[in-house]
Amino acid sequence: MKIELDDQSARALGDPARVRQILRNLISNAHRYGGDKVKITATSTKSSAHVTVVDNGPGVPEAQRERIYEPYQRAHESEGITASIGLGLTVSLQLARLMGGDLTYRFDEGQSIFELVLPSAARDG
């Protein structure tokens, strides 16, 4: 698997440990269920910071997309994948919302795109 990071940055208001937890879950999911390429980007506007985790895998089946944030839901039944019980996205969404943000999913042009949005922090200087 190839992981590509962009050279952009975004400053967000949020608990650093919880933001890492969310990103770790999204990257882990991309590694487990996505394709062989994962790209992570960070951008910001005056009001929000955005981090996207994009992979070229098959995506979440359309019939499952509305339920992926529900507890114990798994969109993929992959052989050999352990330590996954279906709570990662539930917890990640709750954490994002507790920090004043959101977590969304979309499938566009053959890519799974999870986007974490948090309130922007003021830039120094």
Domain positions in the chain: 2-119
Burial 35-45 (b: 16+ CB within 10 A, else e): beebbbbbebe
Give the predicted TM-score (pTM) of the model.
Answer: 0.84
Q: Over pLDDT 70: what percentage of the chain?
A: 79
Q: What is the predicted pLDDT for the residue at 80?
A: 43
- Evaluate if residue 21 carries a pLDDT over 90: yes
CATH fold group of domain 2-119 = Heat Shock Protein 90 (3.30.565)
